[in-house]
Structure formats: C-alpha cells, structure tokens
C-alpha cells in the first residue's frame, strides 16, 4: 500500500452526513450545558445546587432549575450524542429516541407537582417548555436528516 493510500484512509472524517453532524452538535451542546450547570455566573445560586430533588435553588442562566443529577444527565446525554455520531444509524437513533425521551420529560414535567418528591430531577416550567422544543427539534433532525444519510449509503 502506498503512502498516499494510507493518508486518504487516515483522513476519514468523523461525522460525514448531516444526521451525524446533527448528533455531534446536539451532543456537544448537551456537554456545554452540563458543564455550565456547575459554573457560578452561568448558574445562579450555585450554593443551593443539590444532588437531586425539587429543593435545588440553582438556576442555569437564571431560568432553568438544575441539580447535580440534572447536570450529570446532560453530560451523559452529550457523551452519547458525540459517541453515536460515528455512524448514520446510531446518530439517527440518538436524535429520534432522545427526542422521544424529551417528549416524555415534557409531559412528566407538566403533570407532576413541582413541589413534590416526584420532581426529583428537578424541573420548572422553563425546563418543561425547553424539553418540548428539544423533543420536536431532535425528532425532526433524526427523521429528516436520517433519510438523507440513509440515501447516501
């Protein structure tokens, strides 16, 4: 094998298709959000950041209620998005299933009493509506961009 053939193979891009790029971008955004939830200034009342539960007084960007659990879930979701961007099928699955998970979280947030133990993540109204937007956006990206990726293969 010649040097140029090896070089071409080594330059294989990580996220070639639109759905893979979307999975990568969504994953990176979740990683940034997960980290931001621990940073004073980006998160207000960091001293009130609890492990879990509705009692956490920390607010990401002064709006979205967060806890250590909430931030860790964002970080894990981000790692998944980046890792699953390696292949078209897994990237598409990440976006669609992740969107469905966020749709369930949206409904869950709407029906629970925000002051009860059921609000263990924790969620506030801003979180609920962000979850709705994420659900629609992620499913749309997975369905629409996933078709293009499947055609390219």
* Overall average pLDDT of the 16-26 stretch: 96
Residues 83-104 pLDDT 10s: 999 999 999 999 999 999 999 9
* Overall average pLDDT of the 3-21 stretch: 67
Percent of the chain with pLDDT over 90: 71
* Residue in 96, 69, 70, 91 with CA at minimum distance from that of residue 81: 91
Instruction: Give the pLDDT of residue 15.
Output: 76
Q: What is the DSSP-derived secondary structure letter of residue 24?
A: H
* Overall average pLDDT of the 120-135 stretch: 93
* Overall average pLDDT of the 122-144 stretch: 95
Instruction: Give the whole-angstrom CA distance, residue 85 versus residue 25.
Output: 9
Task: Specify the pTM.
Answer: 0.84
In terms of Cβ atoms closer than 10 Å to its own Cβ (0-12, 13-18, 19+), residue 19 is buried
* Overall average pLDDT of the 42-69 stretch: 91
Instruction: Give the whole-angstrom CA distance, residue 118 versus residue 120.
Output: 5
Percent of the chain with pLDDT over 70: 88
């Amino acid at each position: 094998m010649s040097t140029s053939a090896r070089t071409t193979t080594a330059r294989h891009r990580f996220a070639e298709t639109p759905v893979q790029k979307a999975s990568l971008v969504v994953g990176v955004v979740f990683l940034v959000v997960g980290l931001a939830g621990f940073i004073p200034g980006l998160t207000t009342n960091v001293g009130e950041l609890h492990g879990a539960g509705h009692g956490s007084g920390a607010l990401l960007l002064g709006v979205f209620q967060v806890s250590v659990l909430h931030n860790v879930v964002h970080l894990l979701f981000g790692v998944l998005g980046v890792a699953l961007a390696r292949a078209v099928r897994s990237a598409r699955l990440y976006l669609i299933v992740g969107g469905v998970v966020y749709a369930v979280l949206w409904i869950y947030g709407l029906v629970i009493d925000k002051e009860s133990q059921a609000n263990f993540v924790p969620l506030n109204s801003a979180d609920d509506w962000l979850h709705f937007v994420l659900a629609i956006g992620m499913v749309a990206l997975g369905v629409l961009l996933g078709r293009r990726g499947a055609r390219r293969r």
